[in-house]
Amino acid sequence: MRRLPIYFLIDVSESMVGDPIQQVEEGLATIIQTLKKDPHAMETVWVSIIIFAGQAKTLVSLQEIASFYPPKFPIGSGTSLSKGLGHLMFELRKNIVKTTAELKGDWKPIVFLLTDGVPTDDTKTAISEWKQNWQRSANLVAVSFGNEADNNVLSELTEIVLNFKNTGKDSYKQFFKWVTDSIKTSSVSVESNTSGFELAKLDENVISKIDLSKSKTAAQLIDNNFVVLSAKCQNSKRPYLIKYKKKIATTDFGGINLDTLTYRLVGAFQVDNTYFELSDNSNTTFKINTEELLGAPSCPCCGNQFAFAVCNCGKLHCIGEEDESTCPWCGNIGSYGSGESGFDVNRTQG
């Protein structure tokens, strides 16, 4: 039986922390569940999941639907699309059975790339390798989750760049149903020997094609749609992330409208130690002033009231009622006053 390999290449950078990554996790589980009931898909579809943040890794190696168990998704720092692509190409080279004179190999693999951000690294080399070796022998669908994902970069990889719009509570559900339907239609069309790749009909309210002639985003080293701060719980020593989302507010100053950029709290989220494995630690010099940040969370690990204490070492941790606090990063013991004005803290790449 010829296989139809489906690869999910998924951005697990910090901007995905919280609801988005949970929706992706549930979405992938639903895809697999649904495909298990589809005889065509069960026969031909094999699935693999690759994740990337500052580093990339295989979360689930290529396997048949029947033995597939939906994984938990970790979070990392940075959005290294080039490492994600590099890892994807490594997996493709390793797994794809080529057609020879004696052997019918795999159907053209389909890759779903899901990203919500702007690559924080140079993608040139990886993209030219993709173009040279895989653009014709794989079908890639790039889905941008963010308002300002770098569509220029995505459009170099593929002609199919789609924008996912999270407009209602069922948006994610509908999106993953569309992915499932696309896999089903493709698994049928390979057998009738047409192009072997057929996307399901798009619901324009949820997912739409991006007009690539219009979008222009400059490459940058940091994702500015979100500010994400990395912290550790003083009690449990576990890492957590504090996430803020960009908000432009227009204020009327005596007849003159001024746009001010602030970041509003989305929430604080526990992550596990995989976070450090998946992070690119070469860039740690990004700063944000706390005056630009609206809202302070409590600690998601231990419930301490204040998740936003800054140690002399520059790192963040939670504090409670205790007189003296111990920094879970450097071990420094001290007491904290509350700052009067804004101060700079290190932010992550997102």
SS3 label, residue 17:
coil
Residue pair 53/116 in contact (Cβ under 8 Å)? The answer is no
Query: Can residue 345 be called a binding residue for Zn ion (CB under 5 A)?
Result: no
Phi-psi region of 76 (alpha: psi -120 to 50; beta: other; left: phi over 0): beta
SS3 label, residue 305:
coil
Query: Can residue 219 be called a binding residue for Zn ion (CB under 5 A)?
Result: no
Closest approach of Zn ion to the CB of residue 300, in Å = 8
| Position among 4, 65, 299, 310 found at the interface with Zn ion (CB under 5 A) | 299
Q: Given the complex with Zn ion, which of 47 and 310 has the nearer CB atom?
A: 310
Closest approach of Zn ion to the CB of residue 305, in Å = 10
Strand partners, 245: 226, 264
Query: Can residue 304 be called a binding residue for Zn ion (CB under 5 A)?
Result: yes
Which amino acid, 23?
Answer: Q
Query: Can residue 294 be called a binding residue for Zn ion (CB under 5 A)?
Result: no
Tell me how far apart the alpha carbons of residues 82 and 277 are, in angstroms, rounded to a whole number.
17
CA angle (93 as vertex; 273, 28 as ends), nearest 5: 50
Q: Given the complex with Zn ion, which of 266 and 311 has the nearer CB atom?
A: 311
Strand partners, 264: 245, 294
Closest approach of Zn ion to the CB of residue 150, in Å = 34
Tell me how far apart the alpha carbons of residues 254 and 339 are, in angstroms, rounded to a whole number.
31
Closest approach of Zn ion to the CB of residue 263, in Å = 22
Q: Given the complex with Zn ion, which of 140 and 299 has the nearer CB atom?
A: 299
What are the residues whose beta carbons fall under 8 Å from the beta carbon of 78, sequence distance 6 or more? 13, 53, 54, 55, 120, 121, 279, 280, 283, 348, 349, 350
Query: Can residue 205 be called a binding residue for Zn ion (CB under 5 A)?
Result: no
Query: Can residue 296 be called a binding residue for Zn ion (CB under 5 A)?
Result: no
Q: Given the complex with Zn ion, which of 28 and 301 has the nearer CB atom?
A: 301
Tell me how far apart the alpha carbons of residues 323 and 179 are, in angstroms, rounded to a whole number.
53
How many residues in the shown chain lie near Zn ion by CB under 5 A?
Answer: 13
C-alpha separations of 261 from 209, 248, 276 in Å: 29, 5, 30
What mask, x for binding Zn ion by CB under 5 A, covers residues 229 to 268? ----x-x---------------------------------
Closest approach of Zn ion to the CB of residue 115, in Å = 31
Closest approach of Zn ion to the CB of residue 312, in Å = 6
Q: Given the complex with Zn ion, which of 162 and 318 has the nearer CB atom?
A: 318
Query: Can residue 194 be called a binding residue for Zn ion (CB under 5 A)?
Result: no
| Position among 90, 99, 313, 322 found at the interface with Zn ion (CB under 5 A) | 313
Give residues in contact with Zn ion (CB under 5 A): 233, 235, 299, 301-302, 304, 311, 313, 318, 327, 329-330, 332
